[in-house]
Structure 1
Amino acid sequence: MSSESCQVERRVRLSADEVGTVLELASAAGDTDGAFPLSEHTVLHLRHGGDVPSVHLIARERGGRLAGYAHVDTTDVVDGPSAELVVHPMGRRHGLGRALVLAALAAAGEADPAGRLRLWAHGDHPSASALALSLNFRRARVLWQLRRSLYAEMPAPVLPDGVVLRPFRPGADEEQWLALNARAFADHPEQGRWTPADLRVRMAEPWFDPAGFLLAEREGRLVGFHWTKVHGELRGEGGEHPHHHDPIGEVYVLGVDPAEHGSGLGRALTSAGLRHLRSHGLDQVMLYVDESNHAAVALYTRLGFARWSTDVLFQRI
């Protein structure tokens, strides 16, 4: 197969069957590479769609089989369009990745007069770096995935005076949590911009569990939170796993009010969330953190986390 034998078509929406085929392709690539090629943002957009405009680039063999996919998000007027792509493991080294990036650049150029494009590479594979650099992209941001065993020693959470923990209450806590999230991540390029719609779409996901969304409260005011997540389903009654891989916990989002920095609340929330995940029989936990966030990296390292994989954001020069 070569890039000449494939057709790249641009779409605004995909059918449910096409979404399923794209996710199957992504899973096949993830199994081969050891890193899922699409972010949660892209997967949620694929599953739920909505009115937010984006571009889907579909590459098929002449026989019709899906060979590659790219998602272009043109909605960020501050940082510019962003894209992710995946090529089937059997279709690599034939120029298809380059064809998808060029198509993504064309779509981004129509939406952004400056011709900007940010390109995520999940797993930081040498081939992805070589392709990006050959097309005049530079490494702009590095995101680490860290992991730790939940069987390893885990410190008991020690909360600051006056702080209590409780689970998230759907229908009651959304507004106050969004305000805290904006304060905690005021300088974060994505997390601090969450809207009510961003929260609702995640609460509608099958993995959402209010009991694992831990809130720290002082005198009725939220001051921190640890939102945990479980990838894959927990064991059934017979001890079997319904998926081909064991489930793994995630420190999905951990946030602390800036006024609480230095109080030990972040460490206490981390420990409380890890203990919650362990109580479900999970044996491993993961999280994502910016390489440049030295304070968070130091906290997680002290709590036994170590680097597992790397995602890189490339930016068009």
Structure 2
Amino acid sequence: MSSTEPTVDRVARADRLAPVEVAEVLALARIAGDADGADPLDEHVLLRLRDPEAPAVHLTARAADNTLTGYAHLDTTDAATGIGVELVVHPTYRRRGTGRALARGVLAAAAGPLRAWAHGDHPSAAALAVDLGFARARVLWQLRRSLAAALPEPHLADGVELRAFRPGEDDEAWLALNARAFAQHPEQGRWTPADLRVRLAEPWFDPAGFLLAVESATGRLLGFHWTKVHERPGSARIGEVYVLGVDPAAHGGGLGKALTAAGLAYLRDRRGLDRVMLYVDESNTSAVALYERLGFARWSAHVHYQLG
């Protein structure tokens, strides 16, 4: 073999990763995210990586010197609707067949339909998806806004007030509201008590930034704005409209706009941030329009591909 020809990395499959391997994958994801401007693994995958009991298939690609050059995660918890796939290749080791080798490993390991996210809509990911027969199914926009610009006032209807989420007390009622608010959403609407608990245990969780809109007379939950702050060494802090939802029965009264404004004010005034981001499905035209009216602009796209 000529020294100029690409070296094919060896790909290994495992149902569990050792802690040192998890650390390698997380480091690889950080390097790729810094290079591409978009994190290659979503929060769901990162949480599952840190949970040794979470069922998954892990594919690792390594160079001859054992350097981790790529990783693929297969979420097998709901194979009937499709195995979730996320894949990342180290920037230094791209254009040498690593991504294709991992993709072949995914196809060999999976039985049934596949769902894959390409974070940042990277051209290489799009080309690989086309070559393997994946169809572009959804687009998730990341929108951003400066918090230095004027914010709208959070005008609440009479009989509605805001308060902070109370862990252990509001869990059940919030999960029920979340399910109603996101009944048509393929991921968010299916959150379980375990999904909520693992996020409440994250270092970034801030109950004061988890705002609930409640009916004053009864205490019934009407909507919520859960904010998040991203803090990474070497990167500027940025806030996020993590999850924003309104009970369908409370639609049409401006509650979504008021909750958005209240959360943005919290991130600026209480957390000292100067910028914020959020994710919204391209097909959710009403939400996109709301956020654009509130000063958000498109920053990047995340594309969901399907096979089978």
Pick the TM interval, shorter chain. over 0.9
User: Counterpart of 1:162?
Assistant: 159
User: Counterpart of 2:274?
Assistant: 283
1:293-314 deviation per Cα after TM superposition (whole angstroms, max 9, x unaligned): 0010001000000000000011
**After the TM superposition, which residues 116-127 of structure 1 pair with which residues of structure 2 at under 5 Å, given as runs?**
116-127=113-124
1:239-267 deviation per Cα after TM superposition (whole angstroms, max 9, x unaligned): xxxx2011100000000000111110000
**After the TM superposition, which residues 147-226 of structure 1 pair with which residues of structure 2 at under 5 Å, given as runs?**
147-218=144-215, 219-226=218-225
**After the TM superposition, which residues 1-317 of structure 1 pair with which residues of structure 2 at under 5 Å, given as runs?**
5-50=8-53, 52-109=54-111, 115-218=112-215, 219-232=218-231, 243-279=233-269, 280-317=271-308
Measured in 2, the distance between the counterparts of 1:148 and 1:75 equals: 35
Normalised by the length of structure 1, the TM-score is: 0.93
1:6-52 deviation per Cα after TM superposition (whole angstroms, max 9, x unaligned): 111011111221111111111111111111100000001111232x3
2:79·2:113 contact (CA, 8 Å) conserved in 1?
Answer: no
1:186-213 deviation per Cα after TM superposition (whole angstroms, max 9, x unaligned): 0000000000000000011000010000
Seen in structure 2, the aligned counterparts of structure 1 residues 133 and 276 have a Cα distance that, compared at 3 Å, is same
Displacement of 1:281: 0.9
Measured in 2, the distance between the counterparts of 1:78 and 1:165 equals: 40
1:48 counterpart SS class: coil
Measured in 2, the distance between the counterparts of 1:160 and 1:133 equals: 49
1:54·1:72 contact (CA, 8 Å) conserved in 2?
Answer: yes
CA RMSD of aligned residues (A): 1.3
Q: Give the aligned residue type for 1:277.
A: L
Measured in 1, the distance between the counterparts of 2:76 and 2:167 equals: 31
Unaligned runs of 5+ in 1: 110-114, 234-242
Measured in 2, the distance between the counterparts of 1:103 and 1:76 equals: 19
Q: Give the aligned residue type for 1:162.
A: G
Q: Give the aligned residue type for 2:118.
A: A
Is the deviation greater in 300-309 or in 11-20? Answer: 11-20
1:160-194 deviation per Cα after TM superposition (whole angstroms, max 9, x unaligned): 22110000001100000000000000000000000
Q: Give the aligned residue type for 1:53.
A: P
Measured in 2, the distance between the counterparts of 1:103 and 1:6 equals: 12
Measured in 1, the distance between the counterparts of 2:118 and 2:6 equals: 20
1:144·1:289 contact (CA, 8 Å) conserved in 2?
Answer: yes
Unaligned runs of 5+ in 2: none
Is the deviation greater in 97-106 or in 144-153? Answer: 97-106
Measured in 2, the distance between the counterparts of 1:70 and 1:77 equals: 16
Measured in 2, the distance between the counterparts of 1:274 and 1:27 equals: 27
1:130-178 deviation per Cα after TM superposition (whole angstroms, max 9, x unaligned): 0100100110010000000001110110012211000000110000000
1:285 counterpart SS class: strand
Measured in 2, the distance between the counterparts of 1:230 and 1:64 equals: 35
1:2·1:96 contact (CA, 8 Å) conserved in 2?
Answer: no
1:5·1:62 contact (CA, 8 Å) conserved in 2?
Answer: no
Measured in 2, the distance between the counterparts of 1:297 and 1:78 equals: 30
1:212·1:276 contact (CA, 8 Å) conserved in 2?
Answer: yes
